[in-house]
Structure 1
Amino acid sequence: MSALDEVRAMMIFARVVDEGGFSAAARKMGLSRAAISHQIRQLETRLGVPLLRRSTRSFSLTDAGARYYDSCRTISLEAEAARKRVEELRDDPVGKISLTCSVHLGTLRIVPILDRFRQTYPGVSIDVHLSDEVVDLIGRGIDIAVRSGPLKNSELKNFKLYQTHRIIAASESYVSTFGLPESRDDLSEHEWVMYSRVPETLTLQCADGTRNIRVSGSVRVDNATARLQFLRGGHGLAVVPLCDVQQEIDNGDLIRVLPDCKLPDLEIYAVYPGGVTRSAKVQSLLDYMRREMREIDISRNGQVQGDSHIDHS
């Protein structure tokens, strides 16, 4: 094994550990599982120590593997950083962009936008991570996260992609069975589809002021797509972004509950490590996403004044 082959095998080893398995690493790197396994075995032979304890479905690091991983991870991150520094010198968007967002938002909005973006900029490759967990951007080497609300981390920058109203909605079938709440006080008497990212106590502003209403339900989910499916199925009321259900409300499939009352708006942000917007590819994607979301952004439709500044530091 040459020195160059060893460095490549070290990067493969780091990816296997990061992705939690040979198959996942193979998919990310565009290699076969057999090729990944062969590289790790060659690396262990060269070092003279086992790096992994293998079983049928999983693996664990040996003591030597855990120590060796730190060096391999450093090399992998440095190589990625070097590539990005060179790409920043180019004026045209080219190279790889890694992006993470929630499963629901990604499927509904971000992936279709990325599809159109790549039609415009075919020189850019996209690595998309759909997850409802908050991902460590810097630790994972990810360029952009799309999340609700800015992340409270001084190492990260953010700007608002769009802002939309949150509303309370019910399906036609639920209303036909249980009726519509006539006031805020009625809300706590109804079944709710509970979502982990929405508090059980809702802050609702109506004509007679702002009050907190506690709600509960027999269905609880941690995914916005699942929340929408249970809402459509008539399992209870739910708090949802208006832009996600506007067509269903217009069609009468969903009904807006207490339309004269107001919940805090939902703000969707692009979050990114400082400095990445110096890259033409990242800057182009951020600008593209915000243009594509213009129609659903109430902050640019005369209702709310939003901040459109992108921090280039």
Structure 2
Amino acid sequence: MRYLPKLQQIKVFNEVIRSGSIRAAAREMNQSQPALTRTLKELEHHLGATLLVRSNEGITLTEAGKSFAVRAHLILEELEKAADEIEQINKNTYGRVAFGISSLFGITILDAVIRDFKKTRPKTLINIKEAQLSTLLPSLRDGRLDFALGTLTEDMPLGDFIITPLFDAPFCIAGRKNHPLMHCSSPEELADAKWLIPETDMGYYHYIRQFIPFNHPNNPSAPVLTDSMVCIMKLVTNSDYLTILAQARLSELNFGDVLSVLPIGHALLPVGHYGLIYPRKRPLTQAALEMIEQFKWHCQQYNWAPVLL
């Protein structure tokens, strides 16, 4: 039978990576440096590969070490989750759930989802991360998030995920009330517009770059990139920035009252396809499954294509 690393060896390896050196890891784990060095050598011997290169400046991962580090981190994450679930069962509480959402969910159905979830699981610890779905992928893969919701596009590498389509939502170009470009009728009139868009190298906003002249050669101002909805609202409502938003946002209070929709937007922008994803090879906790069911139900009830006046 192939040798399997001991849990302590994985913990030592992971702590050395996190701390940046064997000395720092030994101090953090309250062990001697020789003891940690011996544990690492045993791990490398049984795996038949050098994982770390040691120097006066600290440690550097080899290619084998980089590959093993990803798996080692996932193993510890899953063990911690398993231990946590058992602890919660023993304490008669309800565990925890961590998920990521794009900001559209945060300003539309999130409050109702949490409210209904808490009716049956009031003690469950909930952790929420807001970002574009493409930005959330690393946190899904390394176990920090159970699932995520956002826009899906063909360029996103999702082969290792289970995908559940949720709804389609039309997008629009929005700016402050009385924006000087509010009545433009052609893409050419947007050539020198000031743009504020999410920061992503894939996904919906990356896809629409072929439809909107964010970087027109005649534009004197480069786009401002941010995933913060607070920053977007502040800049768009108090200056001449334009941004791309799902129409459903503008049907919500605090958005429709201060923003207007450019009439040209519907002709330029493709529809956004929203979905829910979670890792194919990692089982979901009962808390995560129940939270997912709440999101599915509330997505079905909400009007994602409102008529904007």
TM-score (norm 1): 0.61
Give the C-alpha shift of residue 296 in structure 1. Answer: 3.6
CA spacing shift, 1:97–1:61, aligned 2, 3 Å: farther
Is the 1:190–1:237 contact (alpha carbons within 8 Å) kept by the matching residues of 2?
no
Q: Say if 2:170 and 2:246, in contact at 8 Å, map to a contact too.
A: yes
Aligned to 1:181, what secondary structure does the other structure show?
coil
> Shift in Å at residue 95 of structure 1?
3.1
Residues 169 and 257, structure 1, Cα contact 8 Å, conserved in 2:
yes
Give runs of aligned pairs for residues 85-124 of structure 1, distance below 5 A: 94-102=94-102, 104-105=103-104, 108=107, 112=111, 115-116=114-115, 117-118=117-118, 120-124=120-124
In the other structure, the counterpart of 1:272 is 278
**2:113, 2:29 → 1: CA distance?**
34
RMSD: 4.7
Q: Give, as a single letter, the amino acid of the residue that structure 1 aligns with 2:209.
A: E
- TM superposition score normalised by structure 2: 0.62
What's the counterpart of residue 27 of structure 1? none
**Deviation, structure 1 residue 201:** 3.4
Cα pair 1:162 1:267 within 8 Å, conserved: yes
Per-residue CA deviations over 1:93-114 (Å, capped at 9, x if unaligned) read 9433332345x45754686466
Aligned CA distance change for structure 1 residues 182 and 109 (closer, same or farther; 3 Å): closer
Instruction: Verify the 8 A CA contact 1:163 1:297 in the aligned structure 2.
Output: no
Indicate which of 220, 225, 246 corresponds to 1:221.
225
Residue 213 of structure 2 aligns to which amino acid in structure 1?
A: R
> Does the 8 Å CA contact 2:172/2:245 hold for their aligned counterparts?
yes
The aligned amino acid for 1:40 is M
| Counterparts in 2 of 1:100 and 1:131: CA distance versus 1, 3 Å | same
Q: Percent identity?
A: 14
Contact 2:140 2:147 in 1 (8 A): no
Distance 1:93 1:266 in 2: 38
2:3 corresponds in structure 1 to none
Give the count of matched residue pairs: 261
Q: Map 1:198-237 onto structure 2 (within 5 A).
A: 198=206, 199-202=208-211, 214-216=213-215, 218=221, 219-223=223-227, 225=229, 226-237=231-242
Distance 1:292 1:243, change over 3 A: same
Q: Are residues 78 and 271 of structure 1, via their aligned partners in 2, closer, same or farther at CA, if it must alter by over 3 Å? A: closer
- AA of the residue aligned to 1:200: R
Correspondence 1:42 to 2:31: yes
Per-residue CA shift, 1:156-186, capped at 9, x if unaligned?
111133432201122125x2xx253341245
Q: Secondary structure at the match of 1:240?
A: strand
Tell me the amino acid that sits aligned with residue 286 of structure 2.
A
SS in 2 for 1:14: helix
AA of the residue aligned to 1:144: F
